[in-house]
Chain A
Amino acid sequence: MSTVLDKLPGTVDVLDQSLESEMTLSMGPQHPSTHGVLRLDLRLDGELVVRAIPDIGYLHTGMEKLFEYKKYQQGIVITDRMDYLNPLGNNLVYVMAAEKLLQIEIPERAQIIRVLFCELQRIASHMVWLGTHALDLGAMSMIFYCFRQREKIMNLIEAASGGRMTPSYFRIGGLMMDLPAGFERRCKQFLDDFTEALDTFDTLVTGNTIWQSRTKGVGIISAEDAIDWGLTGPCLRGSGVNIDVRRTNPYCGYETYDFEVPVETDGDVWSRFKVRMRELVESQKICRQALERLTPGPIKADAPKVVLPDRDDMRKHMDSLIHHFLIVAEGFNIPEGEVYMPIEASKGELGVYMKSNGTSKPDRVHFRGPSFINLSALPAMSEGEMIADVVAIIGSLDIVLGEIDR
C-alpha cells in the first residue's frame, strides 16, 4: 500500500518539514472509528494534529475497469457494492445516465417509486451515520435505536426487490418489478412510527450537553473553503451554502415535491449533524407525498429493445420472447455519446460520467463519489484539532470506503 514515506518523483517530502517534537501516529486501517479501511497518517505535536494525511485504496476492487467488460444491464449490480449504505442511489444514477444516452422516457409511477425508495434509502443511510457517529463519540446505545429503524427500511426494500444491501431494484427503463401487495400500508406504518423515533434521537443526542460540547466548534470549514474543496451534500450545507442537486438540477420530478433544504451556517461538526437530522424529517415528508401520488400504471418504459418484457407477455407473444432472448444474450446498444449525470445521494453529489461507443458495453464509466471528495477535505478540517476531534470530524463527513476506493 502507498504510504507517505514512499518517495516518487514529484513527491513533497513531508518529513523534511517536520517539527522537533513531532510524533507520527498511524490511525487505521483497522481502527473502528475510521468507518472501514481508511488509514490516517497523523503528525502530532502532543495531542494536536499538525498534519493529517489520508491513505486510501485498501478496498480498491477495480469496479470502473469491470464496467467496461460488462453489458449495461450487468453494471447495475456492481453499483450496489460501491456505497453500500446507499445502493439505490447508486442504481439510480447509473440507470439515469444510460437512460439519458438512450433518451427514453420513464413512466410516472416508476419515477414516483424511485423517489420513494431513494428517500427511504437516505433515511437508512443517515441511520447508519447517526449510529456510528454517536458510537465514535461514546454514546453507545444510539446504534441500537438507529439500526432498529434501519432494519424496518431494509425489510421494505427486501419486500420490493428481494435484496437488502444489494437491491438492484432500478433497471434501465424503469423498475425490476412492481411493488408487492400491501407495500403502501407497511411503508406508511413505518413513516408514522418514525416520528416517534426522531423524538427519541433528539432526546438522546441533540439535547445532550456532552454531545454538544464534543461537536460545537470542532472541524470548522468556511463556505469558501468548502466550495474550494468540492464538498457537497450535508457537508456543504453545514457551511451555509444552499446547494442541493434535487433543487439545482432536478431529476425524477423532484421539482414537484414540497420539501425544504436544511442549511446551517457554522460549518462545524454540530452544523453538519443538524443538517442531517433535519434532512430525516424532510425525507419523511417526501416519502409521504410520494405515497399519496402513487396511482396504478406502467413501471417500465415503452422501449422493447431495452426493457425486459413481462413474463406473461413472453408466453403469449413471439416478439416479446425474441426481445427477451436478445436483451439477455446480447444486450442492447447505446448510441455514441457522453453524459455526466448528478444526483443528490445521502452523502452529497453522486455523479456518473458515462461514455458510450455504440456497443452493448460502456466505453468508460466513472463515478464521482461524494465520500471521496469529502474525505480529501479532512486535512483542511482536522489540522490544529485534537486527535479525539479527528474521530468526530470523520464521523461528521459520513464516509463509506466502498465508494472512495471503488
Chain B
Amino acid sequence: MANTDALLEFVEKLKSENASWVTDVKDALGEVTVIVPGESINAVCEYLKTAQGFDLLADICGADRGPEEDPRFEVNYHLFSTKHFNRLRLKVLLSEDKPNVRTVTNVWNTANWHERETYDLFGVIFDGHPDLRRILLPSDFDGHALRKDYPLRGYEPYSMN
C-alpha cells in the first residue's frame, strides 16, 4: 500500500496554518481524507492551491449517506498537484436541513460544472456560485435523483412535454 507520509505532512501544514480548518483526518487505502468544516472550505482550497501547490481540482462529487443519517450529505473534493503529483481528498459534511457550502468557483473555474452537477443530483446548495442551475437533468425536474430516498424509476413517468 502506498506511503501516505507525504500527504500527512500537508495535513500538518494545514493544521499549523489554522487549527480550525481540520476536523478529522482519515488515512486509509493509501489515501488521505481531510474533513473540513463547511464554512472554511473556500479558505482551505485557496491555501492548498497557492501555498501547497495543489493547483488542479480533479473532481467534486457528492454522496448521500441515507435519510436517517446526520450529517446526511458529503461533498468530496479531489485535489491534485501538477508540481509534486500528490492527491488529497477534502470532505465536507452537510446536514439535510442546511445543505449549504461555500463555492470554490473563485479558486478554480473548473468547479463550476462540478458544483452544478452536485446541486442537480443531490440538492447541495453552493453559496456564491455564479450560475447554479441544473446541468444533467431538465430544469423542471422535481427532486434530486441521486438521493437515497429518490426511487430508481422516479415517482411517475417523466414526459418531455
- Interface set of A (CB-CB < 8 Å, partner B): 1-3, 6, 8, 10-12, 56-57, 60, 62, 64-66, 69, 100-101, 103, 225, 227-230, 232, 241, 243, 248-249, 337-340, 342, 349, 351, 353, 355, 363-364, 366, 368, 372-373, 376-377, 380, 405-406
Contacts and interface: CB of A to CB of B under 8 A. Distances in A.
A232 B82 CA distance: 11
Most B Cβ at <10 Å: residue of A62, A227, A229, A340: A340
A10 B85 CA distance: 36
B31 A340 contact: yes
Contacts, number: 119
B133 interface: yes
B136 A406 contact: yes
A230 B78 contact: no
B78 A65 contact: no
B8 interface: no
Nearest 10 CB-CB pairings of A with B: A230-B110, A2-B139, A366-B61, A248-B85, A368-B59, A376-B113, A6-B139, A57-B136, A364-B63, A60-B136
Interface stretch (B9-17, B38-46, B50-58): B50-58
A66 B153 CA distance: 10
Given A353-B78, A376-B110, A57 B63 contact: no
B43 to A, nearest CB: 18
B135 A57 contact: yes
Contact of B108 (A2, A6, A230, A351): A230
Interface in B104-161: 108-110, 112-113, 121, 129-139, 145-146, 150, 152
Interface of B: 1, 28-31, 33, 55-59, 61, 63-64, 76, 78, 80, 82, 85, 87, 89, 108-110, 112-113, 121, 129-139, 145-146, 150, 152
Contact of A2 (B31, B33, B89, B133): B133
21 contacts: A2-B137, A3-B139, A8-B133, A8-B139, A57-B134, A57-B136, A69-B152, A101-B29, A103-B29, A227-B56, A230-B110, A342-B58, A342-B80, A349-B58, A351-B78, A363-B63, A364-B61, A364-B63, A368-B78, A373-B110, A406-B136
B113 A340 contact: no
Nearest to B28: A337
Nearest to A363: B63
Contacts of A3: 139
